[in-house]
Amino acid sequence: MTVEINFDGIVGPSHNYAGLSQGNLAATAHAGQVSRPRAAALQGLDKMRANLALGLTQGVLLPHRRPDRRWLASLGTDPASAPPLLRAQAMSASAMWAANAATVSPAPDTADGRCHLSVANLMTMPHRSHEWPETLAQLRTAFADPAFAVHGPVPAPFGDEGAANHMRLAASHGAPGVEVFVYTLPGGPFPARQHREAGEAIARRHGLDPARTLFVQQSAEAVAAGAFHNDVVAVANERVLFAHEHAFADRDGFYANLRRLLPEVEIVEVPAAGVSLADAIASYLFNAQLVTTGDGPTLVLPEEARATPTVWDWLERHRAGNGPIRRVETVDVTQSMANGGGPACLRLRVVADPARVDPRFLVDAAKLDAIAAVVRRWWPEAIHPDALGDPALVRDIEAAHAQLLSALDLSGYFTVNQPR
C-alpha cells in the first residue's frame, strides 16, 4: 500500500553552532554558542513520536560519521591538525536535515513506474558538499528493493539541495502528480543554492512527464530576506500549496499553471500584509510538515510559530474561516531551529509502500525508545565550537555514532554500499 513515509534525520552527536551556512540567518546568528546534542536528538525523536501519534508512517536517516576523516584526508589533513574552519566543516551534523538528502519522485509520476531518488550534491556549502557519499550509501540500503531507483548526485557546477526546493502536488498520494522544481538565480546578497539545470537533470533522470513538471523561480526578495531554501517560504502536500505571497518570482504564472494541471489544487497564500517575510522566516511558518491525517491537512509547526503573534493570529483566522488546513500541531525543535532547520528540514517525504523499504530504517515507538536510550547514554550533553578539536570529544562522538549503528544493526551499510 502506497503511503506517505516521513524519514527524519537523527540529530548527530557532533551537533554544534559553528555558523557555517551563509544565508541561513538563524545559523549565523547563533554562531559560537554552546549546543546541546543530547537535547537536540531527543527533541527530534519526540517529533517523530508526535508523527506516529498522528497516524503517520515514520522512518529515520542516520547521522553521518563525524569528523569526516576521509574528506579531511583528501585535503591533506586530519582532525588533530586541520585548520579550525576545515575542522568545523568536517564535524558538521547538518545531515540531520533530511530534506536536503535527496529529491524524490513517487512511482505514479515516473515513466518506469518506480520511485526515483536523486541524492543531493549540496555543493554550494563546503560543510555540506561532502555529505552525499554517505547519504547515497544509506539510500541504497534503505531503498534497495527494485521498486526504487536511486541515483547519484548531479555533477558540478550545478547546485542541488534536494527536496527543500522540490514540491509535489496530486489529488492523492497514489494519483499522478505535478512536480515543482524551485530554483534561485545568482546576484543577490547570498549564494544561489539551487540551479534550474539541476532540477531539469533530475526530472529527466526520473522520467517525469514534461507536461506535468514545472520549473519555478524563487523570488529574489525571499532569498535576500533569508529564505535560503524554498521550504522556508512554501510547502505542499497532496492538493494543498501553502506559501507566502512573496515566495515566487512569478506567482501568478505559477498558480495559473498549477490550476491548469491540477484543477483540485487549493492554494493557501499568506499575504505579506498579514505576515511579513521577516516574521515568516523567523518563525519558520512554512518550514513545517504539511501532512494528511484523519482530520484532513495538518500543519506540524515549530513552537516558534506559536510565539510569533502575526503568525499565530493568521493561522487562527484561517482555521476559523474553514480554510483547507484544519489542524495545527507544534513541536519543540529549538536546538535544530537555532541552526536554521525546522520540522520540514528534518524530514524527507517518500511516497511508497513501506513493505518495500528496509525495515531497519522504519521506526515504531519501541524503536524510538531504543534510539533514545543510546542518545541518553552516548550523546555529548554540550559542545562549544572552540572544543571541536578536542581529541576526547572526537573519540566520544565517534563512539556514540558506532553505538547507534550497532543498535540499529546498520554498522556495515557504508562499506556495503560504497559510492561508485
- Is a pLDDT exceeding 70 seen at residue 419? no
Q: Please tell me the number of Cα atoms within 13 Å of 300 on its side-chain side.
A: 27
**DSSP 8-class letter at 143:** T
Q: Which of 229, 246, 318, 401 is catalytic?
A: 229
**DSSP 8-class letter at 98:** G
CA 167 to chain centre: 12
Residue found by looking up cell 521506526 in the block? 363
Residues in the chain: 420
3-state DSSP call for residue 232? helix
Residue 420 has a pLDDT of 43
Q: What is the mean pLDDT of the chain?
A: 94
Residue 161 falls in the annotated catalytic set:
yes
> Alpha-carbon torsion 367, 372, 373, 377, what sign?
positive
Domains along the chain with CATH numbers: 3-416 (3.75.10.20)
Average pLDDT of the residues in 276-295: 95
Q: Which of 30, 245, 318, 345 is catalytic?
A: 345
Closest to 136 measured CA to CA, from 115, 155, 121, 114: 121
- Is a pLDDT exceeding 90 seen at residue 277? yes
Grid coordinates representing 170 are 496530486
Rounded to whole angstroms, how far apart are CA atoms 133 and 231?
A: 24
- Is a pLDDT exceeding 80 seen at residue 413? no
Q: How many percent of the chain have pLDDT more than 70? A: 98
Average pLDDT of the residues in 117-136: 96
Residue 32 has a pLDDT of 83
Question: What own/partner pairs with CB < 8 Å and gap ≥ 24 does 381-385 have?
Answer: 381/36, 381/37, 381/38, 381/39, 382/34, 382/35, 382/36, 382/37, 383/14, 383/15, 383/16, 383/34, 383/35, 383/37, 384/16, 384/34, 385/16, 385/17, 385/18, 385/31, 385/32, 385/88
Query: What does the pLDDT look like over 145-161, one tens digit per residue?
Result: 999 999 999 999 999 99
Q: Which strand (E) or helix (H) includes residue 115? A: strand 115-119
Residue 115 falls in the annotated catalytic set:
no
Query: What does the pLDDT look like over 319-366, one tens digit per residue?
Result: 888 889 989 999 999 999 998 899 999 999 999 999 999 999 999 999
Q: Is 399 exposed, middle or buried (0-12, 13-18, 19+ CB in 10 A)?
A: exposed
Inter-residue contact 288 to 325 (CB < 8 Å) = no
Q: Give the residues across from 264 on adjacent strands.
A: none
Q: Give the residues across from 67 on adjacent strands.
A: none
- Is a pLDDT exceeding 60 seen at residue 398? yes
Grid coordinates representing 390 are 578536542
| Confidence label for 34 from pLDDT (cuts 50, 70 and 90) | very high
Q: What is the pTM of this model?
A: 0.95
Beta strands in 228-326 (DSSP E): 234-237, 240-244, 266-270, 289-293, 296-302
Q: Which of 131, 134, 161, 245 is catalytic?
A: 161
Residue 327 has a pLDDT of 93
